[in-house]
A and B are shown apart, each in its own frame.
Chain A
Amino acid sequence: MTLAEKILAAHCGAKEVSPGDLVSVKADVVLANDITAPLALREFARIGVDKVFDPKRVVFVADHFVPNKDIKSAEQVKEIREFARHHGILWYDVGEMGIEHVLLPEQGIVLPGDVVVGADSHTCTYGALGAFATGMGSTDIAVAMATGEIWMKVPPTLRFVFDGRLQPWVSGKDLILYTIGQIGVDGALYASMEFAGRAIDRLDMAGRFTIANMAIEAGAKAGLFALDDKTMEYVRPRARREFVAYQADGDARYAGVFEYDASKIEPQISFPHLPSNTKPISAVGNVAIDQSIIGSCTNGRLEDLRVAAQVLKGRKVHRYVRCIIIPGTQTVYMQALREGLIEAFIEAGAAVSTPTCGPCLGGHMGIMAAGERAISTTNRNFVGRMGHVESEVYLSNPAIAAASAVLGRIGSPDELA
């Protein structure tokens, strides 16, 4: 069995599962946010139970429209806050909260070998820890909150192998954008992606989270990494409970294997309006920008901010560009402060925000007008994603987004004096 099949088998009490099997699996963690939890609560009330299955395993994070952007958002957060207090579930509000998919691994809430279901499509991020984590809708999450179980179809696994050393300024973001460019936004539809190879072994946890995060952008149900020393080093000081380290069998069956030479991959830019619409940085041409966003569940980790600071330190953001930098969690923010990264950003003329999903989904904190264009380290560049239906989002890694903020057009740090 593959890693995904191993985890699902263990969570449905079966010795073995195969792709296509419909199984009812036990969830280790059930997650919702300020946009999806209100609908989940409505459905939860209709199920007719008065308690969640385990308050220590249900997590709500208010991160999309918080700090509340308007009265309606405030009402929604108030509703879920009251539920969270009443039921004693894990609850992250302003001051403690971070972007859910940066926060939960950092806090040791999601662990290797877990089954995690979240009412947020980027729940697949936790695959970087070797967990089977997948996004669902609010009704599915309401049922999981009530019963601790959820039905799933065991997905086939597609294996993506990256060998070769990464070029300068190339990161996990570029590997996943490249992959989506190759296979398309439905190239892994309903499948589980598994990432391996020497380039993946050398990648830090932040880079792996970024890759797993965007598995959904290829249509995948999950995106998993095998456990290694780096995973254990990350997890051990954080874990709040015991966990089981599963490994794929040597004779695991893959529905497809894709092999890429990572040393040939340049920094990638996804042009509007699909993540699969990628070009290497050398083929971008002259694309002027109005805004640069560095942050999100994709690239809001400390390592991402360090790269951005490396590029921005001692330089100035172009006078026609708004550069907005959003640390993923309070811990990331604090550490960035201690390392002098925040100072470098502000001196460069960037705005630094409290953690929020904000501009990524066109919520707040950086909405664009008609005709405006952003380079962004986020995960989607759909029509109207960051504001007006005639605005445009180009996806990149943090080094490119920082360099572009200085250049006033999409470009590489190599072009900076």
Chain B
Amino acid sequence: MNINGKVWKYGANVDTDVIIPARYLNVSDPRELAKHCMEDIDAAFVREVRQGDVIVATTNFGCGSSREHAPLSIKASGVSCVVAKSFARIFYRNAINIGLPILECEEAIDMTDAGDVIEVDLASGRITNITKGRDFQAKPYPEFMLKIMAAGGLVEHTRAALAAR
């Protein structure tokens, strides 16, 4: 799958409370949640995000609460991929499980600014900053993660495993 979109750039420790504030967690519908995605850190995000855009952040993206509503709201807002230097571990699992592509890449983050257009080839982990004309290579996924993603998410992977028993 190839991704091409405009960059929304954030710093370190973007927590799940700012990705989707708890005051909106009385619903679980991703489209409802998406209406408030990132609003406590960036009021412009919901207004201006376009299908295919990419979130780029530094370290520990998605720290804090285990709320799966966080990656769900990002995905439902149209974001195609999150690229960060590192992810908080629960967020990382949640994103893989629900099918929100995420990539770890130190170098790409430092060389990318808000508004740049980047292309991501998920199969190879190649990240291209079109605006700056630079290529980067993301850390490869562990093989086990690839299996979950190839199945279409953890639920699909589990269904297949249960059917094979």
Contacts and interface: CB of A to CB of B under 8 A. Distances in A.
Given A48-B159, A186-B63, A139 B144 contact: no
Given A143-B158, A384-B17, A76 B89 contact: no
B46 interface: no
B6 to A, nearest CB: 24
Interface stretch (B90-98, B105-113, B123-131, B132-140): B90-98
Contacts of A142: 155
B33 to A, nearest CB: 10
Nearest to B68: A137
A83 interface: no
Contacts of B93: 136-137, 140
A118 B66 CA distance: 9
B1 interface: no
A278 B28 CA distance: 34
Nearest to A42: B28
Interface stretch (B18-26, B48-56, B75-83, B114-122): B18-26
Contacts of B63: 185-186, 219
B23 A363 contact: yes
Contact of B162 (A49, A73, A221, A363): A49
A219 B60 CA distance: 8
Contacts of B69: 35, 39
B13 A274 contact: yes
Interface string A362-383: 1100010000000000001011
B44 interface: no
Contact of B144 (A65, A151, A363): A151
Interface string A33-44: 001101100110
B63 to A, nearest CB: 6
B90 A382 contact: no
A319 to B, nearest CB: 29
Contacts of A397: none
A72 B41 contact: no
Given A185-B63, A380-B65, 11 more contacts: A22-B144, A35-B69, A48-B159, A135-B66, A136-B66, A136-B94, A137-B93, A139-B154, A140-B97, A143-B158, A186-B59
Contacts of B158: 47, 143, 146-147
A121 B66 contact: yes
Nearest to A187: B60
Interface string A138-156: 1110110011000101000
A361 interface: yes
A119 interface: yes
A43 B60 contact: no
A186 B159 CA distance: 34
A389 interface: yes
B26 A72 contact: yes
B26 A121 contact: no
How large, as a class, is the contact surface on chain A?
35 or more
B5 interface: no
Given A47-B158, A47-B162, A361-B65, A139 B26 contact: no
A189 interface: yes
A282 to B, nearest CB: 27
Contacts of B142: 22, 153
A78 interface: no
A27 B159 CA distance: 19
Given A139-B68, A380-B64, A189 B86 contact: yes
A274 B22 CA distance: 17
Contacts of A119: 66, 68
B27 interface: yes
Nearest to B154: A139
A82 interface: no
Given A120-B66, A137-B68, A384-B21, A38 B159 contact: no
Interface string A14-46: 000000001000000000000110110011001
Contact of A36 (B17, B66, B154): B66
Contact of A47 (B13, B21, B159): B159
B144 A36 contact: no
B59 A36 contact: no
A58 to B, nearest CB: 16
Given A36-B66, A65-B26, A219-B89, A186 B162 contact: no
Nearest to B17: A382
